[in-house]
Structure 1
């Protein structure tokens, strides 16, 4: 029986834990929280900090694991260390480090000739004023090592004091206490490319890509996901060629990666980031709703060397639905009093996932983590899907008092 180690037992790992149990694998779970939500799905539990690579490696050797995975960006380098040390499927720590760092990834893009904006790293707040004089506005300020758009802010013009406050905030959010400043790349539309690509032994599955409608108020924040992703043949060739080149240059051959990208006004592909993990906001379950493909199962099975399910994904035609997943954000601070769903769109709603209860305090949207819940919908065709999804906050919104 295969034995898999999963690092982290929080909500983001539940899909992986359930998939491993369904495959009848022995699950070795590591988390510093003895009361973590995933513990009941494990066969053996170790109370250990998942950033402690030495202790994790000792556990992996002791348990004689067949594979190791996680769905936490901060832990993925330790996944790589364990896999490399034990000769398991995975990638080098160096390659994952590049994806995990906005600084290193921008440098990497420029080194291999891909489009990337002018950028700089702030390590000392006293250097800020001199650095800003070299930039054309608007600019984006964000943490170097962080996910969920926490701390990220766009500035249309120079405001040194406000930018200084944001830089300090970003340094606190960033795992390495550094902040990134880069010139803002204008979007041709608020609808951009996002989704998960999957690699196994160098083969790439692109079926987890979809559109994302960004918020008008905060264009850095993903809001409404729309599958399938349909674009011109030219754009699709550029997207696939660029991603293949990135993974090839980094020697990445295994795992699931969340992509955010768009074509700028000059029709150049800008890869915002590639996260070395599954997409957040329940995106693996959304991909399954849209395509029937279980990316949790694919990640679990390929990690232990079982390629049957992945080969089926690559070789068989999957059934594509016109599925939308909308993230519910508040337009003000207050108390959640209900959820409005227009009668026009209600027939297409298949499920509602509220993270907040009626009577809970909610906040005005400020980043990707300040959501109230999600609504999943399935439409009859592409035109109907985009008619509603591109203006979905007219049809679905929280009632806040």
Structure 2
């Protein structure tokens, strides 16, 4: 990364709340100045930004106008916030001719109904989407969820019969920004994610990881674990199909899938184009890759500079969120791991092999409120 900078070498952080702090700190760490924006006049990132704009991350036009008044052209624009801020980044990047995800694709990716409908049309591996105007055509069970919301894990329901549909749809509609709802094929399998850079239309696959959750019906995230090579390869292959059929040319993508170990398929149910949270990018990936810096490389991507090549996963590991351990009164098995690290926000466990890790997962998921799959025994 070029460290010879000009006076107005600013990078824009869309958002300045607590979640954005690792991004803002990384931008400054690598020698750039930070412009941040947030609707909260006392946002946590304000004090460590060089310039703070008290403008909502949902208002790209106003941000562009203010940057013009300040006579500042950002060199790049990034966010850690999901949903509309992703589109805001795309609009601002387009206005200043910066490297970023294009506007049309950004709007597609943040809307689960439009995204899954498009995937079905293009034969991208995804759950089948049913139309609420033709409920008689539904094959049960189905999964109901809001299609356009910033509230994670909200108003999701599994419906096994026709009488379950109306209340489930009403609940999802109530928290969906535009009232749209997904009625999807209920996929069976493990929740996994492929994490990838795309630069100049080429994929640089980083890692694939599995999610530990509470299971049905809410699938509240509890942590993450490294995947075996076969599952990881299938996940990255599904992302490659999506990248090709959507003609993705630039971006950082975290693609959520349901992996069916019997059918050997990984169907995509959502995708995130921001530098997400859940301790994945700032803690877990650096831990299992011996220090790969997601933030540094997202900055490089936004500047269209060469990315660091990622060493393959070198640790078989699990991360669990302390807050969730307490919330669900989880019992933590004490055997088979070779190293445990305790932090105020999380626990990590390292293992000698994927086989040992899988044994630990079996013990962990034998208790109530811990799952890596929704498959019935």
Q: Provide the C-alpha distance between the structure 2 equivalents of 1:6 and 1:383, rounded to a whole number of angstroms.
A: 41
Change (3 A) 1:230 1:390: farther
Compute the displacement of 1:159 (Å). Answer: 2.5
Q: Aligned partners of 2:187 and 2:169: how far apart in 1?
A: 19
Match of 1:274 among 271, 289, 292: 271
Is 1:185 equivalent to 2:209 in the alignment? no
Higher strand share: 1
Residue 22 of structure 1 deviates from its aligned partner by 0.6
**Separation in structure 1 between the aligned mates of residue 355 and residue 235 of structure 2, nearest angstrom:** 23
**Following TM superposition, by how much is the alpha carbon of 1:329 offset from its aligned partner in structure 2, in angstroms?**
7.2
The alpha-carbon distance between structure 1 residues 343 and 228, as it changes in their structure 2 partners (threshold 3 A), is: closer
> Which of 118, 121, 126 is equivalent to 1:116?
126
Per the alignment, residue 3 of structure 1 pairs with 10
Give yes or no for contact 2:333–2:363 (8 Å, CA) kept in 1: no
Partner SS for 2:343: strand
Structure 1 unaligned regions, length at least 5: 355-373
TM-score (ref. length: structure 1): 0.79
CA RMSD of aligned residues (A): 3.0
The answer to whether the 8 A contact 1:103-1:121 is kept is no
Match of 1:358 in 2: none
Structure 1 residues 14, 391: closer, same or farther in 2, change over 3 A? farther
Distance in 1, matches of 2:305 and 2:266, equals 34
Residue of structure 1 equivalent to 2:341: 350
Q: 2:280 matched to which residue of 1?
A: 283
Supply the distance in 2 between the matched residues of 1:341 and 1:396 (Cα, whole angstroms).
Answer: 12
Which one of 166, 169, 183 corresponds to residue 167 of structure 1? 169
CA distance in structure 1 between the aligned counterparts of 2:304 and 2:328, rounded to whole angstroms: 49
Residues 26 and 245 (structure 1), Cα distance of their counterparts in 2 relative to 1, 3 Å cut: same
Q: Does 1:79 align with 2:89?
A: yes
Structure 1 residue 255 and structure 2 residue 237: aligned?
no
Q: Which runs of 5+ in 2 are unaligned?
A: 371-377
Q: 1:76 to 1:121 in 2, by over 3 A?
A: farther
Correspondence for 1:365: none
What SS does the corresponding residue of 1:73 show, helix, strand or coil?
coil
Q: How far does residue 318 in structure 1 lie from its aligned partner after superposition?
A: 4.9
**How does 1:2-401 map onto structure 2 within 5 Å?**
2-61=9-68, 62-74=71-83, 75-120=85-130, 131-146=134-149, 148-160=152-164, 163-187=165-189, 191-218=190-217, 220-231=219-230, 236=233, 239-264=235-260, 265-285=262-282, 286-291=284-289, 292-307=291-306, 310=307, 312-313=308-309, 317-318=311-312, 320-327=314-321, 341-344=332-335, 348-354=339-345, 374-392=346-364
CA drift of 1:118 comes to 3.2
Residue 32 (structure 1) shift = 0.7
Alpha-carbon distance between aligned partners in 1 of 2:80 and 2:67, rounded to the nearest angstrom: 17
Aligned residues: 356
* 3-state DSSP of counterpart to 2:350: strand
State the 1:63 CA deviation. Answer: 1.5
Instruction: Assess, with a 3 A threshold, how the Cα gap between structure 1 residues 197 and 337 changes in structure 2: closer, same or farther.
Output: closer
